Structure 1
Amino acid sequence: METRVRAPKFDYIIRKGFRFFQVLNNYEHHSNGRLWVIWNKESLRITALSSGNQWIHIQVEDLGCVTFQASFVYGLNFVEGRYDLWTFLQHIRPHHPWVCLGDFNCVREVEERISDTVPNLQVIDDFNEAVYGAGLDDLLTHGCKYTWTNKQEDGDRKWMKLDRVLVNSAWQTSFTSSYADALAAGVSDHSPLVVWVTPDEPSRPKQFRLVNHLKLIKPKLKSMHQRDFSNISGRVKDAKLALQRCQLLLQQTPLNAELLSQEKNLS
């Protein structure tokens, strides 16, 4: 989501980083290609069903379980722009299990935000009306309560649950043990979402990943001086874990000035 990659660079990046994968995008609906769906073509059969400037809707087969449909969403950041998204959601109503996940750019409840601005209750009602009309509800989610932050310090910090996983009743029936994890954001301002898809019979959970910001990091370490760059992979891992621990603590006390400063230093 929010790849910030213009269409002319898309093919180059796919060739360099994802040549063994299949990819869908929505460049035909938005010049920034706001959504990419990437999968292992050896493991999954994906059929594109619909796309727009705020969604890509697919059918997924060969997961070792029943066929299901998935909608990846990245809602526009202005109210009127999301009306098309709400209409899309209410017109899907598939008979298959359906998971709808991503950044909806809106909360469902006032309690899902910490901000000094007054919430627009009509905007919240519009979102909930679309969710109910589509026959969807939140999937059980562990981890971060607030999935987006503006990463400002002190009183300027804002927190919101903009990213979520919604499922229909057929999904709940087919995947009774499925759940989602909202992970620490790391260097992004959004939490990655991971949906664990588990059929009713005992088996190892299969990971179905959504990462709110795709960052291609492929460091090339060549001829680095041992004194300055020894154990660099270990230090990067330690720094990442320290940032994650800090961000998880911030979920408990979102306006803790000491933790906000620590997060800034670790980012």
Structure 2
Amino acid sequence: MGPYVEFPMETNGNTTMMELVRVKMGFQCELVVESIGLSGGLCLLWSGKVTIDLISYSPFHIDVKVMSHDSNCWRLTGFYGSPILDSYRHSWTLLRRLHGMSDLPWLCVGDFNDILGDEKKQRGQIRSRSLMDEFRGALDYYGLKDMRLCGPAFTWYNRRNGKAMVQERLNRGVGNYDWQMLFLNSRVKHLEYCNSDHQPILVKSLDDF
């Protein structure tokens, strides 16, 4: 059984292109935030097993209300943190704004483009301690916690030939207390790399992997 909802990031495409992707992958519906030139681009794809209502969107997020087949109602935010060092704090400002827009059980998933601590990185330039502290503080303040993890520890590598491989955990799924109580057996699984330097992640609400 495939995923009910999928959140591709950095699609570098427009609505027409993502419509072709939707049909090829067998999803029934889509929301698209088009890329600016060859940069960025977000898309949310979903099957007929869930009903989606849009709350808000920007070049860095798609925020929706989800009604699943078992009548559970919750909130999903597909999040793309700024990859520009000087703009990292704008990501946490966005997270703060999103937090105040709904009190539904909340799942936030995507590429946060930052790590929570040195243990989430292998080799490479040392990350700013203050930025990591701000990221961790933002998640803690809004009650967003990691779920149990299956698979390798890292989700990104630099793919630079001739240099030592740098690995980091940039992609993650986090849920607030209400969401994790709604789906007690939820897991995050790191999938295999496929034509990307980012490892896809799969969030499942059932204890079936």
What's the CA shift string for 1:212-262, capped at 9, x where partnerless?
xxxxxxxxxxxxxxxxxxxxxxxxxxxxxxxxxxxxxxxxxxxxxxxxxxx
2:5 counterpart residue number? none
Cα distance in 2 for partners of 1:75, 1:128 equals 14
Say which one has the larger Rg. 1
1:79 aligns with 2:85: yes
Cα distance in 2 for partners of 1:138, 1:62 equals 22
In the TM superposition, 1:189-208 aligns within 5 A as: 189-198=197-206
TM-score, normalization: structure 2? 0.84
Cα distance in 1 for partners of 2:175, 2:124 equals 31
1:52 counterpart residue number? 58
Give the secondary-structure state (helix, strand or coil) at the position aligned to 1:156.
coil
Cα distance in 1 for partners of 2:176, 2:36 equals 28
Give the secondary-structure state (helix, strand or coil) at the position aligned to 2:11.
coil
In the TM superposition, 1:111-260 aligns within 5 A as: 111-153=119-161, 155-198=163-206
| Structure with greater proportional helix content | 1
State the Cα distance separating 1:57 from its structure 2 match. 0.7
| Structure with greater proportional strand content | 2
What's the CA shift string for 1:153-207, capped at 9, x where partnerless?
5652110000011100001111111111011213321111111113xxxxx86x9
1:11 counterpart residue number? 16
TM-score, normalization: structure 1? 0.67
1:115/1:52 CA distance change after superposition, 3 Å? same
Residues 18, 32 of structure 2: 8 Å contact kept? no
Runs of 4 or more, structure 1, over 6 Å off, are none
What's the CA shift string for 1:21-42, capped at 9, x where partnerless?
2111223x855452100112x2
1:243 counterpart residue number? none
2:44 counterpart residue number? 37
> Which consecutive residues of structure 1, in runs of 5 or more, have no partner in the other structure?
199-203, 208-267
Give the secondary-structure state (helix, strand or coil) at the position aligned to 1:57.
strand
Residues 186, 204 of structure 2: 8 Å contact kept? yes
State the Cα distance separating 1:17 from its structure 2 match. 3.8
Please report the RMSD computed on the Cα atoms of aligned residues, expressed in angstroms: 2.2
Cα distance in 2 for partners of 1:80, 1:196 equals 34
1:118/1:11 CA distance change after superposition, 3 Å? same
State the Cα distance separating 1:55 from its structure 2 match. 0.8
Instruction: Report the AA paired with residue 34 of structure 1.
Output: G
1:171/1:87 CA distance change after superposition, 3 Å? same
Instruction: Report the AA paired with residue 118 of structure 1.
Output: I
1:21 counterpart residue number? 28
Instruction: Report the AA paired with residue 60 of structure 2.
Output: Q
Cα distance in 2 for partners of 1:85, 1:48 equals 20
Structure 2 residue corresponding to 1:69, chosen from 59, 72, 75: 75
Instruction: Report the AA paired with residue 16 of structure 2.
Output: D
Cα distance in 2 for partners of 1:168, 1:36 equals 23
1:63/1:86 CA distance change after superposition, 3 Å? farther
What's the CA shift string for 1:13-72, capped at 9, x where partnerless?
41x342462111223x855452100112x2221011011221111110033141110111
1:26/1:13 CA distance change after superposition, 3 Å? closer
Give the secondary-structure state (helix, strand or coil) at the position aligned to 2:70.
coil
